[in-house]
A = this chain, B = another copy of it.
Amino acid sequence: MIYFTFDPRPDLKKDLEQFMPEEQIIYERKVDNNHLNEAEILVTYGEDLTPEHMKSMKNLKWIFVASAGIEKMPLAELDETEIIVSNVRGIHKKPMAESVLAHILSYYRSLPAIYAEQRAHNWKRKMPSKELNGATALILGPGAIGSEMGRLLQAFGVNTIGCNRSGKQADYMDEMIAFNQLLDTLPRAEIVLSVLPSTKETKYLLTADHFKAMNPDTLFLNFGRGDLVATNVLIEALQQKEIAYAVCDVFEQEPLPSDSPLYDLENLTVSPHVSSQSSRYLERSFDIFKENYRHYRKGDYDQITNQVNLKNGY
């Protein structure tokens, strides 16, 4: 039996049922211990399992997590079992890259000003539009997501400089630098984009000195984690116009409280952690599920993609 602890759209359920007509499938918006005891495969968003539930997993062989985040899973307890845990890492790549390009192009082509003039019923042709082609972008964290952004930026004629811990080559980067070359390289970039995760090394990686080193024309985008830069450092850099504009999808404190001064900064776009959202999210997740289900039924457990390393937690 396959147990979904959420209730997908009717069209997606129909598609699953046609894909595996022999299977008994239960959809329920909570974790029920009886169902759990019967389930061979569990499909979850990864936020509903507790260590307590471990006792009710008598038949469970595979947990498919239809999200990238697994930090709320009972990883240590699962590590003591033979249960395979896999997720949908990389599923955010396309929607996130589209969001990042949307914000970059919106800034370069003056969309916020165009929208404001429309609200005022003004036909104002003097806009501060710039061309993106020929710009240089520095991408902090050129992994699967950052490289997809690099690919699209290169299509627009943007020079891409990737930056990671070691400076080792990454896809769609014209050049690579290591974290310790960051301060020297920042003045060359007009776009500084981070998709870094939060780790000991990336927490508060960007300091006031980094913002002072940036070109005053710089567009800074943070689509990784909010603790890359302290909020007061970012506010200072924007108020002092050390950089021209910033777009943040992530913040030190989320949700951002309604009295946060960030909402009112004229040179900041507050994006409420939505860059990875997509109407096609579950559709994509289920495509990954179906592919892996085929491997599972054949007994090719090694072929199941995105298996979680339960010791390291990623």
Binding site for B on A (CB under 8 A): 94-95, 98-99, 101-103, 105-106, 108-112, 114-115, 117-119, 121-125, 127-134, 151-152, 155-157, 254-256, 258-260, 263, 269-275, 277-280
Whose C-beta in chain B lies nearest to the C-beta of A102? B105
Question: Which residue of B101, B109, B121 is within 8 Å of A99 (Cβ)?
Answer: B109
Most chain B beta-carbon contacts within 10 A, residue among A133, A151, A272: A272
Contact (Cβ within 8 A) B103 A111 = yes
Contact (Cβ within 8 A) B94 A98 = no
Contact (Cβ within 8 A) A278 B117 = no
Between A and B, 24 residue pairs with Cβ closer than 8 Å are A94-B157, A95-B109, A95-B129, A98-B108, A98-B132, A101-B156, A102-B102, A102-B105, A105-B105, A110-B274, A114-B269, A115-B269, A118-B263, A118-B270, A121-B259, A121-B260, A122-B272, A123-B254, A123-B255, A125-B272, A129-B279, A130-B279, A130-B280, A152-B155
| C-alpha gap A256/B125 in the complex (Å) | 11
| C-alpha gap A122/B128 in the complex (Å) | 28
| C-alpha gap A108/B256 in the complex (Å) | 24
Q: Is the interface of A mostly helix, strand, loop or mixed?
A: loop
Tell me whether A278 and B131 are in contact in the complex, defined as CB-CB below 8 angstroms, given that A105-B98, A121-B258, A270-B118 are known contacts. Answer: yes
Apart from A102-B109, A114-B271, 8 more pairs, CB < 8 Å: A95-B109, A102-B106, A102-B108, A105-B106, A111-B111, A131-B279, A151-B155, A152-B155
| C-alpha gap A121/B272 in the complex (Å) | 11
Whose C-beta in chain B lies nearest to the C-beta of A270? B118
Cβ–Cβ < 8 Å partners of A157 in chain B: 94
Cβ–Cβ < 8 Å partners of A272 in chain B: 114, 117, 122-125
Cβ–Cβ < 8 Å partners of A278 in chain B: 129-131
Question: Which residue of B112, B131, B152, B274 is within 8 Å of A94 (Cβ)?
Answer: B131
Cβ–Cβ < 8 Å partners of A127 in chain B: 274, 277
Q: How many whole Å from A153's CB to the nearest CB in chain B?
A: 10
Q: How many whole Å from A272's CB to the nearest CB in chain B?
A: 5
Contact (Cβ within 8 A) B129 A277 = yes
Cβ–Cβ < 8 Å partners of A105 in chain B: 98-99, 101-102, 105-106
Cβ–Cβ < 8 Å partners of A279 in chain B: 128-131
Q: How many whole Å from A285's CB to the nearest CB in chain B?
A: 13
Most chain B beta-carbon contacts within 10 A, residue among A95, A111, A133, A278: A111
Cβ–Cβ < 8 Å partners of A271 in chain B: 114
| C-alpha gap A130/B278 in the complex (Å) | 5
Contact (Cβ within 8 A) B156 A98 = yes
Cβ–Cβ < 8 Å partners of A95 in chain B: 109, 129, 131
| C-alpha gap A256/B114 in the complex (Å) | 14
Q: How many whole Å from A245's CB to the nearest CB in chain B?
A: 13
Contact (Cβ within 8 A) A101 B103 = no
Whose C-beta in chain B lies nearest to the C-beta of A276? B129
Q: How many whole Å from A158's CB to the nearest CB in chain B?
A: 11
